[in-house]
Amino acid sequence: MRRHRLILPLLLVAAAASSVAARAPFACAPGGPATSLPFCRQSLPLRSRARDLVARLTRAEKVRLLVNNAAGVPRLGVAGYEWWSEALHGVSDTGPGVRFGGAFPGATAFPQVIGTAASFNASLWELIGRAVSDEGRAMYNGGQAGLTFWSPNVNIFRDPRWGRGQETPGEDPAVSGRYAAAYVRGLQQPYGGGGHHGGHTRLKTAACCKHFTAYDLDSWSGTDRFHFNAVVAPQDLEDTFKSCVVDGRAASVMCSYNQVNGVPTCADESFLRGTIRGKWQLEGYIVSDCDSVDVFYRDQHYTKTHEDAVAATLRAGLDLDCGPFLAQYTEGAVAQRKVSDADIDAAVTNTVIVQMRLGMYDGDLATQPFGHLGPQHMCTRAHQDLALDAARQSVVLLKNDAATLPLSPGTHRTVAVVGPHAEATVAMIGNYAGKPCGYSTPLQGIGRYVKTALHQAGCTDVACQGGNQPIAGAVDAARRADATIVLVGLDQKIEAEGLDRTSLLLPGRQAELVSVVAKAAKGPVILVLMSGGPVDIAFAQNDRKIAGILWAGGTGYPGQAGGQAIADVIFGHHNPGGKLPVTWYPQDYLQKVPMTNMAMRANPAKGYPGRTYRFYTGPTIHPFGHGLSYTKFTHTLAHAPAQLSVRLTGHHAATASSLNVTTHLGRVAADVRVSRARCEGLSIPVHVDVKNVGDRDGAHTVLVYASPPAAAAAAHGAPARQLVAFEKVHVPAGGVARVKMGLDVCNGLSIADRDGVRRIPVGEHSLTIGELTHSVTLGVEQLGV
């Protein structure tokens, strides 16, 4: 079989050696028309500079700055700018702001986000962000990208059918929040701040937390994201975005297409002004998902006129429209006195400040901190090694009967490599991807370990439909091989933006291919799954001929190095340590849970089983957090207190009313509002000794779950358990590593009551760490003292 290897790395080497014309200054060019004006003076606070610029603009000029393809202002020496660039898991040309070609033919393609989330390694997430930031800034310097990257996607992967679940860090709020903060820090790499910057940090690139909020439906059973009104109880509005904004200090938030409780998110003042800019104190801009304003006017009929739609968004706190709507109708809205010039000024000021934080008003790029980055910083050896490491770390070992894995190249010299993903290239990088530096297919990766690789596709494509599938050839290869590796799963024709799934089963005749190949195989059979969302593989779990199952190289779409990573795990060069960031449900789950039902909690009376591991009460194919290793780890609790007191703030410390007491079904529950607790420094130290009792070095993720007092759980509908801390640690064979964690009481041990108010239950909280359990009793400082 002819093996293809792309030649992009060679192109990049050539590009790195060539000279590249530097981008002309965006504004404030030396000798330009505005060099002496206040908005170009770097000694002034950024807000003062931005206000000076805005004050010099005509209304028509300001209106053209309210959209993603912002027009230039030549008379002031300000260039036009395309705000829409993407960098979900590598610089991507999904948006118009990025253009590959010439000196920049490609960028490093890291595993899809659902994959790197499976590593449970926050340090890795930040490193990936830093690498992407290098390449994004290099492309900006070369005139082929912007600096405002609309990533990451931190929506909760609430429903297993969602086509965009692959873009997210999974179903758990703690994982999603920590991923967002780490990736944003890596992308933005803030520096400076204070002094003459007026308190604003400078940025290498600007990240964007999207899509706010309750967005996890694209197109299902006649309902699409453009017309969907997500009816969400206050208790279920998880603040995954809070960590992205507050901890990550993201420069932007994107509102979504859908409505929440009857109000389009891009016109919801309580969300945009009240929460994002008010409570979370966003230092940046709020942008619409593309054409969202037009969608809620034209498709949702939320306003009667175009001008009413403009007023709804600007007054709600939107600063930038991805689309032409605000450029077309804002002047009319001013003429009709539905918005004021002050509303426009506020929006433009917010976007200009972000551009100033990026150095876009500081003149010559060569004199700026990142002006040296260029083609030679694309697809570097270090970045490609990081992509491979990320893909390896993200592999999840689901099944390993009789320790069949890893395979031995010496014993398994002839290996059948079958399935529609055996020669995967584009399928490995998922959606919102760019042009990779190159690909390593699974067949190529496996071929490096064995004497002979017998390749048969088994299906004509991933859909694998119809009677003409070449299954017989795959069966014959399995009969002749010492071992068989079957690579199946999904692709972007089955799960994608705008395309939700209707089934959790393998598509077409893939399951048939797996079963007949396993039945015929002479040696052990290893099943490799590539997908973003979970798959019901109960048939394979229960098939004794299938010895091992992997969710492959980045739990689905492992990036450009996925093929090598898969092979490295199968043949033992890397010991897998990934964990599932989502619950894998059985197929019949879909009959009980409409995608349009946003409720998280189970309702047994209605046959509704709930969503995600925190509330789901039914059977699973694999639970959240599942993942095996080629070695074994044990846990010993080295330190954790048995009691902790919660101190209250200000006058609350002296009032009994600060303690809320409720009775539910005869049980008495007591709690205090998070807003009344002194949260700073309120942490439970937990130290765990992790011992590797096997004979292989390996990485292990310590997962700490908390369960609230039973009375509080019953009174407030709290989750039975929730992840409150996790850390990844490498432990050599026979070695011990101590993992020190601090459990944030106000975030981790609080629960949302039915009104969405966060409360800290008083009483005994149970912590679960692998096979360990430990109780911590939370009390309140003596009132009236």
Coil, strand, or helix at residue 462? coil
Token pair, residue 638, equals: 């080295």
- For residue 567, give the H/E element and its range: helix 562-570
Q: Where are the alpha helices (H) located in 395-470, listed in sequence order?
A: 442-447
Cβ atoms 240, 154 nearer than 8 A: yes
Alpha-carbon dihedral 355, 133, 379, 3, rounded to 10 degrees: -100
The distance of Cα 197 from the centroid of its chain, to the nearest Å, equals 31
Round to whole Å and give the CA distance between 638 and 736: 12
Contact assessment for residue 586 and residue 621, using Cβ atoms and an 8 Å cutoff: yes
Phi, psi values for residue 5, rounded to 5°: -130, 120
Orientation angle between helical segments 173-188 and 122-141, nearest 10 degrees: 40
Query: Considering 93, 172, 216, 289, which one is annotated as catalytic?
Result: 289
Cis peptide preceding 213, ω within 30 of 0? yes
Q: What is the rounded (10 degree) CA torsion for 154, 155, 158, 164?
A: -90
**268 classed as catalytic:** no
Give the span between the Cα atoms of 211 and 490, in whole angstroms. Answer: 24
Q: Which residue has the tokens 């001929």?
A: 545
Q: Assess contact for 394 and 119: CB atoms under 8 A.
A: yes
**Are 65 and 399 in contact, with CB atoms under 8 Å apart?**
no
- CB count within 10 Å of CB 414 equals 16
Q: Which residues pair with 688 in a beta bridge?
A: 637, 739
* Bridge partner residues of 182 (DSSP): none
Distance CA 81, CA 268 (A): 27
Active-site residue list: 289
